[in-house]
Structure 1
């Protein structure tokens, strides 16, 4: 396991991050140029080596409900990669998704990405809400809908 100081050295090799002291000798690192309200990349890095990196809903990471991954046992390479991925995530505009889907019976619904949810609307009424695109797509296909190609 990397020490607190080793983790700080790796984190501080990213010049785009800004260090902020928080309580109990913990530190956060922010990406001030984030395209989103969220700017925290490294959260509560503690002298005991524990800490978290924000990955949102990136599929390659198993984040908690707030989008953070525990980095306690990360190698130097893993820590560098997850920080780079976090910065890329916060600096990439999310592609908006708003497509109609049609059932065999001609019923139309709209699947809309309203971060962080994937919502299915029938007209103006919300029918279902999902945490991931794959879950929403699976539901629509199971219900007999096909995506209309634009």
Structure 2
């Protein structure tokens, strides 16, 4: 647990000095429902995006989190960052760190997560999310999938 807290503190301090994210954080913040993934169908998989200082924190209900910021190339609809799978989640991904990239296109959030594996080739998880309307946001949706 101490390593995870240290990792999060490192991320916040590292990204905290950058300018405010250029992406429209109002359209990104909230709860997003996974609609498709190359890792398999998951009707209960969701991510929550929250502003945290000058960065955005992405938390999944299936065991990973990330800190992202606006793409340095100036694309207002792209976010990039780093994250980590929690111990005991994600099967072979448990405790693995990863790079992550999000692009908001036509109201859908596209995700590419690149996970370098210790005992095998790098894995790329791709998913597409739809934002849940504010009336459909129920705290029980963030229970572990």
Q: TM-score scaled by structure 2? A: 0.31
Higher strand share: 2
Larger radius of gyration, structure 1 or 2? 1
Higher RCO (C-alpha under 8 Å, 6+ residues apart): 2
Task: Give the alignment's TM-score, normalised by structure 1.
Answer: 0.30
